Amino acid sequence: MRILMLILDGLGDKPYPNLRNKTPLEFARTPNLDKMGHLGETGLMYTLGPGIIPGSDTAHLALFGYDPLEYYQGRGVYEALGAGIKLKPSDVAFRVNFATKKKGIIVDRRAGRNGYKLDELANELDGMKIGNAKILFKHTVEHRAVLVIRGKGLGKNVSDTDPHVTGKEIREPKPLTKSKSDKKTAEVLRRFLKEAERILKDSKVNRSRKRKGLPPANALLVRGAGQYKPVPGIKGRFGITATGIAGGALYKGVARFVGMDVPDIPGATGDKNTNLEAKAEAAINAKTDLVFLHVKATDSFSHDKDPKGKARFISKVDKELVSKVKSEFDLIFVSGDHSTFSSIGEHTADPLPILIYGDEDIIRQDLGAFGERKSALGQHKINGLDVMPILLSKAGFMEKFGE
Amino acid sequence: MRILMLILDGLGDKPYPNLRNKTPLEFARTPNLDKMGHLGETGLMYTLGPGIIPGSDTAHLALFGYDPLEYYQGRGVYEALGAGIKLKPSDVAFRVNFATKKKGIIVDRRAGRNGYKLDELANELDGMKIGNAKILFKHTVEHRAVLVIRGKGLGKNVSDTDPHVTGKEIREPKPLTKSKSDKKTAEVLRRFLKEAERILKDSKVNRSRKRKGLPPANALLVRGAGQYKPVPGIKGRFGITATGIAGGALYKGVARFVGMDVPDIPGATGDKNTNLEAKAEAAINAKTDLVFLHVKATDSFSHDKDPKGKARFISKVDKELVSKVKSEFDLIFVSGDHSTFSSIGEHTADPLPILIYGDEDIIRQDLGAFGERKSALGQHKINGLDVMPILLSKAGFMEKFGE
């Protein structure tokens, strides 16, 4: 049996007066999801457990059946894997912003959120040697990049250099423990950042950005240290093959981390203009037992505090994506990775609706629609870690426990 | 207070078009269960947790408050106890089929599913000595028997000899680890099976079966090795006395394993013709705090892919059993041990409906009926291990935790 796991990022939300007291999902025009909600099993999911506010990385680990308490290695690891860097054991990875500073003070944490020629700039930093450590540096999208320090005796407990607000100086990287390995990472990072700023300052790219009226990318803000350790893949743990289809680097990264095959899909951008039909097609054409299909923009609208935009985008997902995939899989799971309230623009710990749909072996709940409050009447109340066992048992990939 | 735990095996199911899109339980005529569902507390239970497909043995352990991860010792143990064998610590027990082979090939895994004179045949094998190990062998019902190897230095990790299909040879028993004790069990088993076949071949019973036109019981298929270790009884763990009323050997066995008193009830056969009224009467007359009352045939109809038969049998249970017991206990729990979908004839991991009924201290849910989808609206979403604490606290057998 072929399983689709469709994750609409940050799907769960609350009702809003300007949506006639409905949630974005309830307000959206979703004939396909509603039919699947009517004929399918539904319920609510606390991705990491009641009261735990999920990050995107930890939430996806749980959805893939990997307990984040055991398998979470820090955001940098998943970003680096998502950027296509082949990590080696003990590599220490960071998320990086190209930023703009003036007289030592950060004036723009995102260098105008403009990626113009930043890949060239990244290439100048990539491959640098600091003592016996090697630097890997790769631009991803907009102002974003990943940094990997490779070498012996490195630790991951170092502080972010990102002050997280403008008007402040960049922080010095500090070891967070007294261990030798954390000290070494902090020291390599400090020396790299010093050398990097010297290179950025004199670079042709920044002269070229200046001519275009763009803020210079003359500083690096580093955060989210993680240290990579390979883990047993989804094939070994669950006996199935899996494909991950996503635009955003983080989601590709978590999928690669658990051993999914992650192709690059042209047009899958991870933003509001992503090509939903191309993603649907890639999902349908994937040859694996499980296909993980991730759509990011639902969450982005919530972060932008735009519940109406979120509802419109969900309608679009129903029309351009759900309509195409719904009869192409034997079993379909639809949910999000966490709730994101458009009122505050932040992830919340609230349970979010789930939907399990298939031709057979489904206890249809006859609830008429798919939404937060309808799903509260469905039969499932689960945690994120329950999703894989439920799907795999329904699809015939699980053995009985006992006889 | 007296508690009844009524388990209708494999109760949970899915809706079927030929039952007007109702499940067998929803379709059945059950005025008593519906009234109890209306006045009682309801909900859904994942017996072993979401996505875990329960076996009958592990499921009953959980219902009795015994975590199968800690207490499951292999099916053979519970079958042997159910057959009335008094196990000693370290005994290794197996389920056995009498089977029919021809030129070394299994042609009937169940010797015609006919138990004619198999008790005599079992007696010929019982008591045999293999080296310093002793063989206990007992016929149960139809083609079924149990085998116990008693001796020093035995392990339980040996392979089944049952090929599980006809047209194949019987497998050699193999140790599944390199440990000396597993090797010893495999060797004793191999020698016993060889000797047993010699005895079966020349037996009078098989000549007599031949005259009756029955397939000879000339082979033994062995599976489900388990090694017995006594566990703290229900009285010690929960402070209550308990009676187990069941026809099937497995259910009697699990009940004995946890220290229940298990009488033999005339007419309680564990099949579709079981005497429900006799079981109801035995439950009512039992003098213990808890009575576990097991009805098997609900599951059998599901395994036979007969949802309509299952519904009819549930109607019969309601009329002949529930009607009699419903006012004879202070607290009644009704559920199954797992879902069995009649569509596929297999156990599934789906949550199944529960019902808690009593005169007092019940939060009635006013749901109008008892069934899978009504119960989804009830207040409980529990695991099997929660059942005993919930019943014991409602019945006044539990102390406060803290003050």
pLDDT of residue A328: 97
pLDDT of residue A274: 87
With contacts defined as CB-CB under 8 Å, which chain A residues touch B348? Answer: 361, 393-394
With contacts defined as CB-CB under 8 Å, which chain A residues touch B82? Answer: none
How much is the mean pLDDT over chain A?
96
pLDDT of A266 > 90? The answer is no
Percentage of residues in chain A with pLDDT exceeding 70? 100
Which residue of A360, A365, A386 is in closest CB contact with B50? A386
Q: Do B75 and A365 touch (CB under 8 A)?
A: no
Enclosing H/E stretch for A77: helix A75-82
| Average pLDDT for B223-236 | 97
Percentage of residues in chain A with pLDDT exceeding 90? 95
Rounded to an integer, what distance in angstroms lies between the CA atom of residue B62 and that of residue A214?
Answer: 65
SS3 B355: strand
At A191, list the tokens: 């020396």
| Average pLDDT for A153-177 | 95
Q: How many CB atoms lie within 10 A of CB B271?
A: 13
Q: pLDDT, tens digit, for every residue of B69-99?
A: 999 999 999 999 999 999 999 999 999 999 9
Rounded to an integer, what distance in angstroms lies between the CA atom of residue B77 and that of residue A403?
Answer: 12
Largest CA distance in chain A: 74
Residue B59 sits at the chain A interface (C-beta within 8 Å): yes
Looking at residue A173, the DSSP 8-state letter turns out to be: P
Looking at residue A390, the DSSP 8-state letter turns out to be: H
pLDDT of residue A375: 97
Question: What part of B 61-90 touches A (C-beta under 8 Å)?
Answer: 68, 72, 75
Rounded to an integer, what distance in angstroms lies between the CA atom of residue A295 and that of residue A337?
Answer: 10
Closest chain A residue to the Cα of B59, Cα to Cα: A402
Residue B237 sits at the chain A interface (C-beta within 8 Å): no
Q: Do B53 and A386 touch (CB under 8 A)?
A: no
Q: Do A361 and B351 touch (CB under 8 A)?
A: no
Exposure string for A346-355, b = 16+ CB within 10 A, e = fewer = ebbebbbbbb
Q: pLDDT, tens digit, for every residue of A69-113?
A: 999 999 999 999 999 999 999 999 999 999 999 999 999 999 998
pLDDT of residue A214: 95
Tell which residue, A69, A17, A63, has the closest CA to residue A335: A63
pLDDT of residue A270: 78
- Rounded to 5 degrees, what angle do the CA atoms B271, B276, B280 make? 135
pLDDT of A128 > 90? The answer is yes
pLDDT of residue A288: 98
Cβ distance A355 to A6 under 8 Å?
A: no
SS3 A25: helix
pLDDT of B227 > 80? The answer is yes
Residue B376 sits at the chain A interface (C-beta within 8 Å): yes
Helix then strand then coil, % of chain A, to nearest 5? 35, 25, 40
How much is the mean pLDDT over chain B?
96
Rounded to an integer, what distance in angstroms lies between the CA atom of residue A142 and that of residue A140?
Answer: 7
Enclosing H/E stretch for A339: strand A339-341
The CA–CA distances, whole Å, from A224 to A73, A77, A78, A79, B73 equal 10, 9, 10, 9, 46
pLDDT of A360 > 80? The answer is no
At A349, list the tokens: 């710990």
Where are the alpha helices (H) located in A272-356, listed in sequence order? 276-285, 297-303, 307-317, 323-325
Q: pLDDT, tens digit, for every residue of A291-343?
A: 999 999 999 999 999 999 999 999 999 999 999 999 999 999 999 999 999 99
Q: Do B373 and A360 touch (CB under 8 A)?
A: no
Q: Across the strands, what pairs with A102?
A: A105
Per DSSP bridges, beta strands B92-102 and B105-108 are: antiparallel
Residue A366 sits at the chain B interface (C-beta within 8 Å): yes
Helices (H) and strands (E) in chain A, counts: 16, 15
> Torsions phi, psi of B327, nearest 5?
-105, 15
Banded pLDDT at A271 (limits 50, 70, 90) = confident
Q: Please report the DSSP string for A53-67 in residue order.
A: ---HHHHHHHHTT--
Percentage of residues in chain B with pLDDT exceeding 90? 95
Rounded to an integer, what distance in angstroms lies between the CA atom of residue B313 and that of residue B307?
Answer: 10
With contacts defined as CB-CB under 8 Å, which chain A residues touch B341? Answer: 361
pLDDT of residue A346: 96
Q: Do B51 and A389 touch (CB under 8 A)?
A: yes
Burial of A230 (0-12, 13-18, 19+ CB in 10 A): exposed
Which residue of A361, A382, A390 is in closest CB contact with B343? A361
Residue B199 sits at the chain A interface (C-beta within 8 Å): no
First-to-last CA distance in chain A?
23
Burial of B238 (0-12, 13-18, 19+ CB in 10 A): buried
Taking one residue from A and the other from B, the number of pairs with CB-CB distance under 8 angstroms is 86
| Average pLDDT for B19-26 | 97
Rounded to an integer, what distance in angstroms lies between the CA atom of residue A350 and that of residue A369?
Answer: 20
Rounded to an integer, what distance in angstroms lies between the CA atom of residue B250 and that of residue B94?
Answer: 12
Rounded to an integer, what distance in angstroms lies between the CA atom of residue A318 and that of residue A325?
Answer: 10
Banded pLDDT at A347 (limits 50, 70, 90) = very high
Residue A1 sits at the chain B interface (C-beta within 8 Å): no
Could you identify the residue written with the tokens 């606390």?
A46
Could you identify the residue written with the tokens 């007066």?
A17
Residue B17 sits at the chain A interface (C-beta within 8 Å): no
A303 residue type, one letter = H
pLDDT of B126 > 80? The answer is yes
Q: Across the strands, what pairs with B145?
A: B96, B139
Q: Please report the DSSP string for B63-120 in residue order.
A: HTT--HHHH---HHHHHHHHTT----TT-EEEEEEEEEEETTEEEETTGGG--TTHHH
| Average pLDDT for B196-219 | 95
At B128, list the tokens: 């045999």
| Average pLDDT for A40-65 | 98
First-to-last CA distance in chain B?
23
pLDDT of A179 > 80? The answer is yes
A344 residue type, one letter = I
